[in-house]
Amino acid sequence: MAKISLTPNRKPQIEDVSPFAAIPGGEFQILGENLAGDSPAQVSFGETSAPILVGSDSYIVARVPDGTSSNDMIVHCQDEASQPWVCQIGLQVADTLHPVANPAVDRQGNVFSTFSGARGQRTPVSVFRIDTNFHVHPFLSEVMNATGLCFDKDDLLYISSRHEGTVYQATSKGDMSVYVEGMGVATGITFDNEDNLYVGDRSGTIFKVNRSRNIYVYATLEPSIAAYHLAFGPDGFLYVSGPTTSSYDSVYRVGQHGDVEVFYKGLGRPQGIAFDAMGRLYVAGSLQGRRGIVRIDSSRNAELFLSGPNIVGLAFAPSQRMMVTTTNGLYRVAAGVPGWPAPNQA
């Protein structure tokens, strides 16, 4: 007769992890069983130990440490270890940057990001190009406080200067010219499907600039304390974020005639925004005190998609990757969803 053990199985079991992804400094919430015993649990990503902020037998909050290179999360309790749970952790591909908004991705998959600098600071490089092998190259200089970036249908790069109130246009070779001036404190920029340019003036105006470079006041919002961030959704509406003096900020939706409505209210310091191919909106900000990138579906349900500190923007890249900018770096994340419009489109 086989011997029956009366000792309960205390092997840690991970049942769920949220959010979907994180960058170093971000936090994962872990649900499971037997996550703690007589001694505190430990969490590791591969061979790298992670700090535990909250720990119990069924719930752990662990912070992703710097230098993490493995996506395998393991909970250790005494002499037992859980099966690995595969997480999506962002890999830093560039540092010593100073973005204040979204990066931009061209048709070839090159990523562009700014070194914006302090107000009135003239930096040696205004915009960097990070190629598909993630080598960083100086691309543009002489733009004071480079802020917003976007591409048009011809793959020309546009750069706003919040110091000058100017939007510049640049070719793939880095030849630059003034596109439009007099945009106030020009921050976020984007194009609609007819190639009209929209520029957010931080003092509260959204300008529309047609291809003849005629300027119109398109919409008026509450002034932002940092910047406006603009993106058109698949539904044809313009979406706008920008932190105000409130700690409970909104994302706005602007109709074709400039009518403004609140699309979602309840974010902390919302900044860069982008859409995926399913029409879901991604916002750099915080939700219920958790910082990172918040995903909002068409029914206006919000969830934290990616956890991390100091995130200011994001953009989708080929192979369903997301490029995430923090106040000093650029991260690549396997998002698992395609962006909208696709990176090989305008």
218 φψ region: left (φ > 0), alpha (ψ -120 to 50), beta (else):
alpha
pLDDT (tens digit, 9 = 90+) per residue, 23-82? Answer: 999 999 999 999 987 777 899 999 999 999 999 999 999 999 998 989 999 999 888 999
At residue 9 the predicted structure's pLDDT band, cuts being 50, 70 and 90, is low
- Percent of the chain whose pLDDT exceeds 70: 96
List, in sequence order, every residue forming a beta bridge with 71; answer none if it has no partner: none
d(CA 207, CA 193): 16
- Please tell me what DSSP assigns to residue 101: S
Structure confidence at residue 7 (pLDDT)? 46
Q: Which DSSP string corresponds to 66-92?
A: TT----EEEEEETTEEPPPEE-EE-EE
Give the span between the Cα atoms of 190 and 256, in whole angstroms.
Answer: 15
Q: Which long-range contacts (CB under 8 A, 24 or more apart) does 122-131 make?
A: 123/98, 126/159, 127/157, 127/159, 127/170, 128/94, 128/97, 130/93, 130/94, 130/330
Q: What is the mean pLDDT of the chain?
A: 94
Please check the confidence at residue 172 and state whether its pLDDT lies above 80: yes
pLDDT tens string 282-298: 999 999 999 999 999 99
The domains located in the chain, with CATH, are: 13-89 (2.60.40.10), 91-340 (2.130.10.10)
3-state SS, residue 317: strand
- Residue 10, pLDDT above cutoff 80: no
Give residue 343's pLDDT: 60
> pLDDT tens digits, residue range 218-240?
999 999 999 999 999 999 999 99
For residues 76, 78, 80, 85, the Cα torsion angle rounded to the nearest 10 degrees is -10
3-state secondary structure of 272: coil
Per-residue pLDDT of 127-147, as tens digits, reads 999 999 999 999 999 999 999
Predicted local distance difference test score (pLDDT) of residue 133: 96
Name the residue with higher pLDDT: 79 or 18: 18
Q: Which amino acid is residue 52, in one-letter code?
A: I
Nearest CA among 104, 94, 100 for reference residue 136: 94
pLDDT at 19: 98
Which of 190, 146, 151, 152 has the alpha carbon at shortest distance from 166? Answer: 146
Say whether pLDDT at 265 is over 60.
yes
- Is residue 308 within 8 Å of residue 292, measured between CB atoms? yes
The 10s digit of each residue's pLDDT in 154-163 is 999 999 999 9
Kindly state the average pLDDT of the residues 167-192. Answer: 97
H or E stretch at 114 = strand 111-114
pLDDT tens track for 71-108: 999 999 888 999 999 999 999 999 999 999 999 999 99
Sign of the torsion angle spanned by Cα atoms 242, 246, 252, 257: negative
pLDDT at 345 over 70: no
Which residue's entry shows tokens 């917003």?
148
Position with higher pLDDT, 247 vs 332? 332
pLDDT per residue as tens digits for the range 182-195 = 999 999 999 999 99
